């Protein structure tokens, strides 16, 4: 099932009662738009199910790479397809193990956001950009208490 993450702007730029509401015809435009768009697509950020054949055909053949595959014949994401080409297009089955080792060696351990359940990398104040911004908008309250009070993000 696909997931959406609301951010308060369901029409992608026009908010009911917002600054755009005073423009002539904005309300009618918003109503027409919302009547044409299915509910699961009405949020700013749409996260499709990784198993969706509409949005993803597969994930990369490298076990540690969650990237979507665009070239289904090979089964590699764009980055790893380039690695495979640079290696001279060897037999894919034999190439996967050394490529997996290279991937693990090149990707450093990235500390996660301090909010429980958030798997995004931290940027500042040990928080991901989304949570750092929310913490700052909240007036930078007690950090430990604020982190503990945050609900687990949707996947």
Tens-place pLDDT, residues 23-77: 667 788 888 888 888 877 777 666 677 667 676 667 788 888 877 776 678 888 8
Check pLDDT > 70 for residue 14: no
Question: Which residue would you say has higher pLDDT here, 120 or 88?
Answer: 88
pLDDT tens digits, 111-138: 888 888 887 888 778 898 889 999 999 9
**Strand ranges for the chain from DSSP E:** 3-5, 45-47
The terminus-to-terminus CA distance of the chain in angstroms comes to 11
**pLDDT value, residue 16:** 47
Within 10 Å of residue 122's Cβ, how many Cβ atoms? 18
State both tokens at 112: 């996660």
Within 10 Å of residue 101's Cβ, how many Cβ atoms? 11
**pLDDT value, residue 3:** 47
């Amino acid at each position: 099932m696909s997931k959406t993450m609301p951010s308060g702007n369901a029409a992608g730029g026009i908010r009911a009662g917002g600054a755009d509401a005073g423009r002539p015809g904005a309300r009618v435009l918003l109503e027409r738009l919302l009547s044409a768009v299915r509910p699961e697509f009405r949020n700013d950020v749409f996260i499709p199910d990784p198993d969706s054949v509409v949005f993803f055909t597969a994930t990369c053949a490298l076990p540690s790479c969650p990237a979507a595959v665009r070239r289904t014949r090979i089964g590699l994401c764009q980055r790893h397809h380039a690695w495979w080409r640079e290696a001279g297009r060897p037999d894919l089955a034999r190439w996967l193990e050394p490529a997996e080792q290279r991937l693990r060696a090149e990707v450093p351990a990235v500390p996660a956001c301090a909010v429980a359940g958030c798997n995004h990398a931290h940027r500042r104040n040990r928080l991901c950009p989304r949570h750092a911004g929310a913490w700052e908008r909240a007036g930078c309250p007690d950090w430990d208490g604020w982190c503990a009070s945050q609900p687990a993000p949707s996947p």
